[in-house]
């Protein structure tokens, strides 16, 4: 039987080999990379892509190309399918990201003496998913279950006590963790506990905000995610093809240049302006989904005002149509000569309000979202790895592809709820509030609502009287 020291030594060798292989693994193509890491990989015997035979390079390119086509085709199919399939796509991407990050800090030798510890981490993930997703689609679920008395009886309690049930589940996981603490493994176990919660707070919860935006209209999910991708492409083209960037931007990504950074911003703003206009022409992208149906026509009869053309004065466009720019306009406008300021403010043009919002999203996608990628680059350098995983053939890990999207999701959620979200309520929101009332108050609400509908001649008077008679008897305890 091997001694503990020899077992520990073997585990160290395995981890060292895995680290070396991860450093040698690179993304074929023009992705950003660390020359020092590539040099270290070459010194360890891993050939660089440019040093490989032509057939090897062709095979690598073919794998990357085929996987890209499959991903794009799958994404377009999900967009066509609608909101619910896209929601499950987000959950699938989050699951792969969490899996890669769990694996990153895994110590196989330690876990052999901690059976079930990995299951605890996934339990916390499932509890977080249950709490977040039900919270975001609660109104949609209410529409579905209240369409049938049987469904309302079966699942009404779940929606009403969802938060408390989530807390009970988390508490069960917490108690299980404490009961499984083992002497000699405390540091490792608490480190993994902290690592699990860091992943859920920094990666899972922010990216889940896209689910809330998704049901407000696919455009609020598709446009921001597309702008992050467009910015990456435009920055590459501006830095490599047009301006031949020479000025380094940040040490964490040596191939990023100021020329590419600024050129990418210009290209992203242009793409946002016209992309928002194209998407706004389709109800499938603009109308909110109030239920959980798939492939069904959108229920909204009228196109929301934000997707209709408006004529703006420049000052109105910067302040009224897009309140996010009020402070900027006030501060910058005060520096201009009065006559020039009046001439600029009086300029008029016609566009969709959504196009102005798209410009705000594009600016964030260009100047702030890339720092999510820089953060991930620094993280990988801390672990001395090239990619977070190899979930996507030829592209590396899922986390490598979606690191900037996490930052973008937070901004879009906050931006939408502060500047765009309509002040009006909906049937699902009213039902969500009504389900929180005691049964007797729900009956009172039904009676008052029936009186209103009878007054508007939308409900027969006999039916209104029957409802009033039944609720009155129930409220007085006689029925």
Query: For residue 108, is pLDDT > 80?
Result: no
380/23 Cα distance (integer angstroms): 10
| 205-214 helix and 219-237 helix, angle to the nearest 10 degrees | 120
Contacts (Cβ under 8 Å, ≥6 apart) of 321:
310, 312, 353, 356
Confidence at residue 259, expressed as pLDDT on a 0 to 100 scale = 86
- Each residue's pLDDT tens digit, 300-318: 777 888 999 988 877 666 6
* 388/5: higher pLDDT: 388
21/17 Cα distance (integer angstroms): 6
Query: For residue 399, is pLDDT > 80?
Result: yes
- Each residue's pLDDT tens digit, 282-292: 999 999 888 88
Domain ranges of the chain: 14-309+352-427, 437-475
pLDDT bin (cut points 50, 70, 90) of residue 44 is very low
pLDDT bin (cut points 50, 70, 90) of residue 222 is very high
Confidence at residue 461, expressed as pLDDT on a 0 to 100 scale = 87
Q: Of all residues in the chain, what percent carry a pLDDT higher than 90?
A: 36
| β partners of residue 462 | none
Please choose, from the candidates 16, 34, 18, 15, the residue with its C-alpha nearest in 3D space to the C-alpha of residue 26. 34
Confidence at residue 68, expressed as pLDDT on a 0 to 100 scale = 81
Confidence at residue 149, expressed as pLDDT on a 0 to 100 scale = 80
24/151 Cα distance (integer angstroms): 54
- Tell me the average pLDDT across 317-342: 66
- Each residue's pLDDT tens digit, 420-473: 887 666 777 787 788 888 888 888 888 888 888 888 888 888 888 888 888 877
- Each residue's pLDDT tens digit, 50-88: 445 666 667 777 777 888 888 889 989 999 988 999 999
| β partners of residue 250 | 253
Structural element, H or E, at residue 470 = helix 461-475
- Tell me the average pLDDT across 144-171: 87
Confidence at residue 299, expressed as pLDDT on a 0 to 100 scale = 73
- Tell me the average pLDDT across 250-268: 86
> Under a CB-based contact definition with an 8 Å cutoff, are residues 369 and 407 in contact?
yes
Confidence at residue 8, expressed as pLDDT on a 0 to 100 scale = 46
Please choose, from the candidates 353, 297, 291, 320, the residue with its C-alpha nearest in 3D space to the C-alpha of residue 140. 291
pLDDT bin (cut points 50, 70, 90) of residue 320 is low
Strand ranges (DSSP E) for 329-433?
A: 348-351
46/19 Cα distance (integer angstroms): 12
Of the ranges 172-186, 241-255, 384-398, which is most confident? Answer: 172-186
pLDDT bin (cut points 50, 70, 90) of residue 167 is very high
- Tell me the pLDDT of the chain averaged across its residues: 81
Query: For residue 365, is pLDDT > 90?
Result: yes
CA 449 to chain centre: 38
401/395 Cα distance (integer angstroms): 8
Query: For residue 14, is pLDDT > 70?
Result: no
415/331 Cα distance (integer angstroms): 21
Confidence at residue 50, expressed as pLDDT on a 0 to 100 scale = 43
Work out the number of other CB atoms within 10 angstroms of the CB of residue 266.
13
Confidence at residue 23, expressed as pLDDT on a 0 to 100 scale = 45
Please choose, from the candidates 356, 211, 228, the residue with its C-alpha nearest in 3D space to the C-alpha of residue 280. 356
Confidence at residue 16, expressed as pLDDT on a 0 to 100 scale = 52
Cα dihedral value 297, 298, 302, 305, nearest 10: -140
Strand ranges (DSSP E) for 201-334?
A: 248-250, 253-257, 310-313
- Tell me the average pLDDT across 411-422: 91
pLDDT bin (cut points 50, 70, 90) of residue 22 is very low
Confidence at residue 57, expressed as pLDDT on a 0 to 100 scale = 63
Work out the number of other CB atoms within 10 angstroms of the CB of residue 408.
25
Query: For residue 337, is pLDDT > 50?
Result: yes
- Tell me the average pLDDT across 104-110: 71
Q: What is the DSSP string of 140-174?
A: HHHHHHTTSHHHHHHHHHHHHTHHHHHHHHHHHHH
Q: Of all residues in the chain, what percent carry a pLDDT higher than 70?
A: 80
- Tell me the average pLDDT across 368-378: 91
Provide the whole-model pTM: 0.75
Of the ranges 138-142, 212-216, 242-246, which is most confident? Answer: 212-216
Length of the chain: 479
Confidence at residue 35, expressed as pLDDT on a 0 to 100 scale = 44
Confidence at residue 31, expressed as pLDDT on a 0 to 100 scale = 39
Confidence at residue 88, expressed as pLDDT on a 0 to 100 scale = 95
Query: For residue 144, is pLDDT > 70?
Result: yes
Helix, strand, or coil (residue 313):
strand
Query: For residue 43, is pLDDT > 60?
Result: no
Query: For residue 235, is pLDDT > 70?
Result: yes
Confidence at residue 33, expressed as pLDDT on a 0 to 100 scale = 41
């Amino acid at each position: 039987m091997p001694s503990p020291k020899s077992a520990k030594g073997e585990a160290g060798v395995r981890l060292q080999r895995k680290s070396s292989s991860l450093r040698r693994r690179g993304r074929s193509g023009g992705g950003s990379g660390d020359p020092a890491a590539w040099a270290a990989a070459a010194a360890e015997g891993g050939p660089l892509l440019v040093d490989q035979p032509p057939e090897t390079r062709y095979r690598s390119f073919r794998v990357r190309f085929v996987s890209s086509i499959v991903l794009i085709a799958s994404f377009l199919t999900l967009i066509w399918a609608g909101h619910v399939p896209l929601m499950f796509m987000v959950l699938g991407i989050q699951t792969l990201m969490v899996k890669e990050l769990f694996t990153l800090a895994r110590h196989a030798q330690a876990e052999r003496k901690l059976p079930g510890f990995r299951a605890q981490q996934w339990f916390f993930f499932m509890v977080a998913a249950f709490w977040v997703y039900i919270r975001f689609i609660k109104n949609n679920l209410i529409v579905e279950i209240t369409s049938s008395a049987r469904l309302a009886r079966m699942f009404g309690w779940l929606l009403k006590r969802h938060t408390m049930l989530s807390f009970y589940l988390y508490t069960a996981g917490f108690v299980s963790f404490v009961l499984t603490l083992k002497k000699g493994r405390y540091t490792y176990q608490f480190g993994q506990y902290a690592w699990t919660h860091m992943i859920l707070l920094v990666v899972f919860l922010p990216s889940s905000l896209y689910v809330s935006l998704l049901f407000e209209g696919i455009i609020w999910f598709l446009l921001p995610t597309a702008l992050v991708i467009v910015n990456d492409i435009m920055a590459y083209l501006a830095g490599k093809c047009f301006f031949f960037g020479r000025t380094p931007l940040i040490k964490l990504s040596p191939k990023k240049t100021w020329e590419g950074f600024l050129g990418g911003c210009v290209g992203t703003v242009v793409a946002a302006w016209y992309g928002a206009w194209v998407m706004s022409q389709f109800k499938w992208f603009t109308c909110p989904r109030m239920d959980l149906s798939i492939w069904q026509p959108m229920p909204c009869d009228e196109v929301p005002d934000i997707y209709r053309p408006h004529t703006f004065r420049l000052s109105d466009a910067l302040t009224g149509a897009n309140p996010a720019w009020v402070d900027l306009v006030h501060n910058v406008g005060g520096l201009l000569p009065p006559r020039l300021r009046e001439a600029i403010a009086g300029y008029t043009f016609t566009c969709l309000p959504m196009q102005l919002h798209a410009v705000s999203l594009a600016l964030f996608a260009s100047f702030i979202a890339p720092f999510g990628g820089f953060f991930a680059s620094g993280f990988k350098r801390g672990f001395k790895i090239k990619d977070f995983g190899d979930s996507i053939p030829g592209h590396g890990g899922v986390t490598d592809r979606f690191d900037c999207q996490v930052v973008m999701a937070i901004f879009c959620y906050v931006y939408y709820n502060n500047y765009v979200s309509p002040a009006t309520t909906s049937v699902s929101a009213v039902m969500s509030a009504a389900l929180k009332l005691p049964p007797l108050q729900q009956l009172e609400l039904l009676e008052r609502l029936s009186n209103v509908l009878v007054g508007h001649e939308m409900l027969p008077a006999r039916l209104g009287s029957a409802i009033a008679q039944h609720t009155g008897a129930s409220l007085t305890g006689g029925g």
